[in-house]
Amino acid sequence: MASYETRLLIGGELVAGTGAPLDVENPYTEETIATVGSASAQELDAAIAAAREAAPSWAATPAVERAEMLHEVATRIRARTDELARLMTAEGGKPLIENSDEVGWTAAAFDYYAEIGRDSAGRVIPPIESTQLAMVVKDPLGVVGCIVPWNYPLLLLAWKLAPALAAGNTTVCKPSELTPLSTLALAPCFDHLPPGVVNLVAGDGDVGAAIAADERIDAVAFTGSVETGKKVAAACTARMARMNLEMGGKDAFIVCSDVAGELSVAARGGVWAAFLNAGQVCTSAERFYVMSDVYDDYLNAFVETTRGLVVGDPMDPSTDIGPMVSAAQRAKVERQLAEAVDAGGEVLVGGDRAGQERGHFLAPAVVVGAPDKTAVWREETFGPVAPLRPVRTLDEAIALANSTPYGLGANVYTRDLATMLRCMRELRAGTVWFNDPLTDNDAGPFGGFKQSGLGRELGREGLEAFQETKHVHVETEIAPKEWWYPYSQYNAAAQQPRDGGGA
């Protein structure tokens, strides 16, 4: 059995967790590959205390010095690309090629925030008087709790951790109990930072709940389910702590008639958007609305592309689709498929175990004819299922796309600029991709409308999520103001409050 780092990082020291043990399963072999000790109450307390103690000096560290240290984090992560990618594949089941890309994206996030974190610390605004200086200053929040899911354990950590550190905050980070190993393996990438700036703890939902409820945690950045996100929001609201929540989606994928000549490309893009990481992506395309005059051709191309996908060993470079992360996750998706079929839907391809004797495999499924009321159209699937249906007009497509409580992302294939403008304005989603699905941009803010979350990650907005805004007013002349007490010394006209003299 390979040797994995299972210790927690607390106050700059590697510590064996003494809380409840977490057995980490390889989703391909179904074998336990490591056991990680959760953070006990005492160890979590120590991690938060270490972050609290380190916060003032880290906040006072010049931004250019923090930037240099974040660039070093990125360099160290890139140097371990193969090791980290294999570790993520072993514990999460995502194909090795996708995890290698994830390591690169993770490093890029640290490089990006290293630079914009030293770009500015606020702005100067016009003062009320000529003798004054007025500024808007961006301060760090203090200690940030980062609660990270299993599907992109390093990337979604970096989207929180990198801007939090760049803004001058210290952190306590908890990965999913399903995929803690890759996060704990990052400890050497942070050992040049002052002790306590980054703390890595393991645990289940109870540890995450304790982080969200702790008064010493000034903000919580969370990615996960709507149900859990609401619990995090309630805990933060009860103590008026800042929160940044990304809670999943049910992304729509619209195919317009004017791409009739490129349907094969649009089908390949749709298959990739639906089945990347076995459909276990927050922005997976989970609802396909195709104009009726191109529907049959698009469906045929979609099914043909899906049939050609290679399902198997995620370490094999030729594999397109690996296993799902757990038996429980697969069972949830299978229930949605069964409901769709029972209601009159038809699975044209996939939906079985892909001929695999072991592993949490589910062959990518294409579903047609399922009623709109079924879960495959209404609830987040988070698995390799693509329901397709024809629509007659763009009005119908947009209305259906906006019909769920989610609003994370949406995809549209069209060549028509007027259609793009309509979809850009009318689709209720945090990101709208045209002709290039699921492409992230470090400089482009990411987040959702409605129940898909609150706040944004990435971009300057992702940095500001971890900053407090302060107005600073400086008067260079120490002298009484004419609108001060006593009012009796002025005539009636002079008694009127001046701009800036009252709340």
Given a contact cutoff of 8 angstroms between Cβ atoms, the answer to whether 433 and 449 are in contact is no
Three-class secondary structure of residue 4 per DSSP: coil
Task: State how far the alpha carbon of 486 is from the alpha carbons of 87, 248, 480, 489, in Å.
Answer: 73, 59, 11, 6
Asked whether the predicted pLDDT for residue 491 surpasses 90, the reply is no
Is 423 among the residues known to form the active site? no
The reported pLDDT for the residue numbered 496 is 59
Is 256 among the residues known to form the active site? no
Mean pLDDT value across residues 352-378: 97
| Distance of alpha carbon 156 from alpha carbon 221, whole angstroms | 10
Asked whether the predicted pLDDT for residue 494 surpasses 60, the reply is no
Instruction: Count CA atoms within 13 Å of residue 401 on its CB side.
Output: 31
Over the stretch 432-441, which tens digit does the pLDDT of each residue have?
A: 999 999 999 9
Given a contact cutoff of 8 angstroms between Cβ atoms, the answer to whether 67 and 115 are in contact is yes
Mean pLDDT value across residues 415-427: 98
| Distance of alpha carbon 1 from alpha carbon 4, whole angstroms | 9
Q: State the Rg of the chain over Cα.
A: 26
Sign (positive or negative) of CA dihedral 406, 432, 111, 113 = negative
Q: Which of 102, 177, 246, 457 is catalytic?
A: 246
Q: Give me the amino acid identity at 305.
A: T
Q: What is the mean pLDDT of the chain?
A: 96
The reported pLDDT for the residue numbered 488 is 85
Asked whether the predicted pLDDT for residue 497 surpasses 80, the reply is no
Q: Give me the amino acid identity at 490.
A: Y
Mean pLDDT value across residues 197-211: 98
The reported pLDDT for the residue numbered 489 is 79
DSSP for residue 493: G
Q: Which of 146, 189, 236, 282 is catalytic?
A: 282
DSSP string for residues in 248-311:
---EEEEE-GGGGGGHHHHHHHHHHHHHGGGG-STT-EEEEEEEHHHHHHHHHHHHHHHHT--B
| Distance of alpha carbon 446 from alpha carbon 436, whole angstroms | 16
Residue 195, preceding peptide bond in cis (omega within 30° of 0): no
Q: Do the strands 219-223 and 449-450 form a parallel or antiparallel pair, or are they unpaired? A: unpaired
- pTM of the entire structure? 0.95
* Share above pLDDT 70 across residues of the chain, in percent, rounded to a whole number: 97
Domains along the sequence of the chain with CATH: 8-25+32-184+202-247 (3.40.605.10), 251-442 (3.40.309.10)
pLDDT band at 348 (very low <50, low <70, confident <90, very high): very high
| Distance of alpha carbon 427 from alpha carbon 254, whole angstroms | 11
Nearest CA to 51 out of 172, 161, 214, 221 is that of 172
Nearest CA to 412 out of 202, 215, 216, 269 is that of 269
The reported pLDDT for the residue numbered 192 is 98
